[in-house]
Amino acid sequence: MWPTRRTVLLLAAGLPATVAGCSGAPGVRARLRLATGEAGGAYEVLGERFAAELHRGGLDATVLRTAASVENLAMLAGGRAELGFALADSADRAVRVERRPVAALARMYMNYVHAVVPAGSPVRSAADLAGRRVSIGAALSGTAVTAGRVLAAARLTEPARTSTLGLDASMRALRAGGVAAFFWSGGVPTPALDAFARTTPVRLLALGGLVAPLRRAHGPVYEMAEVPAGEYGGGRPVPTVGTPSYLVCRVSLPGDVAFTVTKILFAGRDRLEAPDAPGGRLDRRYAIGTGAVPLHPGAARYYRSVYG
């Protein structure tokens, strides 16, 4: 059920700035800060759409553009955001290793690790990146965490010379010859990368053989995935590493707010248009599989209310 006015007033101490509720009282709305991602990525687009859904459901959300997963998790732990998106491997590390006070509201969709090289590059596998200049993604991004682990799993004969560039900077560097390859983790297709591939011929490296060693080293946050034929100009499917995205929150987020946010997420899922990929459509049974990252009690209450 939706929170009453009295409930929202009781929640006020746990929310930032001017807070209130979902009761429809004039000028009184709960305000949440949503940490998303960098320009051109799925988190930024999804964040803007989700903020609109929160507004529709009686909550206000300020969208914070960030470097994505790692920064988002730090912002939640530090009280600088209430909601955010994060890759499963980054969130798993934050909870199990760093002991950050973060919970999950939903597992949302599958991200695909893109290892992008020029179409005519001699690089044919991750192992061929030994000694080459490679962008692993923006500093404090989940892509950088995943890419570092992928390179370690590839057992390069010498370390790659890594740079931490965001997606736009990575694409510019690849076009200019400043890097031999760059990593990106996102839905398929990622619009900015798709547009880039239409003017700059590129190819994706097959990474599927690294899923098993990644799972041995880091657990089931990694899955076998496949970029379909035809994406980014490729003629064949490309096996790669997949890792889910979660909608995460502060552990201290009040239970009724977490319940309402989760309910709004699923009420608006057709308008959110989660990235079009296997597992991409929001599904309640898929959503509860958040591994070591505990479901927030408010979110768990929502799922129980739906199917027991």
Q: Which residue has the higher pLDDT, 175 or 188?
A: 175
| Residue 222 pLDDT exceeds 60 | yes
| CA 34/CA 85 separation, integer angstroms | 8
**How many C-beta neighbours within 10 Å does residue 233 have?**
14
DSSP state of 4: P
| CA 66/CA 137 separation, integer angstroms | 13
Q: In sequence order, what are the beta bridge partners of 111?
A: 243
Q: How far apart, in Å, are the Cα atoms of 13 and each of 73, 108, 214, 301?
A: 22, 29, 42, 22
| Residue 27 pLDDT exceeds 80 | no
Q: In this predicted model, what pLDDT tens digit does every residue of 178-212 receive, in sequence order?
A: 999 999 999 888 889 999 999 999 999 999 999 99
| Mean of pLDDT values over 248-265 | 96
Average pLDDT value for the chain: 88
Range scoring the smallest mean pLDDT among 61-65, 66-70, 152-156, 279-283: 279-283
| Mean of pLDDT values over 40-58 | 91
Confidence of residue 281 (pLDDT cuts 50, 70, 90): low
Confidence (pLDDT) at 30: 67
Domains of the chain: 5-108+245-307 (3.40.190.10), 111-243 (3.40.190.10)
Q: Among 24, 23, 40, 38, which residue's Cα sits nearest to residue 69?
A: 38
| CA 132/CA 128 separation, integer angstroms | 8
Most confident of 17-31, 240-254, 269-283: 240-254
pTM for the predicted model, two decimal places: 0.86
Three-state secondary-structure class, residue 10: helix
| CA 76/CA 290 separation, integer angstroms | 17
Confidence of residue 38 (pLDDT cuts 50, 70, 90): confident
| Residue 22 pLDDT exceeds 50 | no
Share of the chain above pLDDT 90, in %: 78
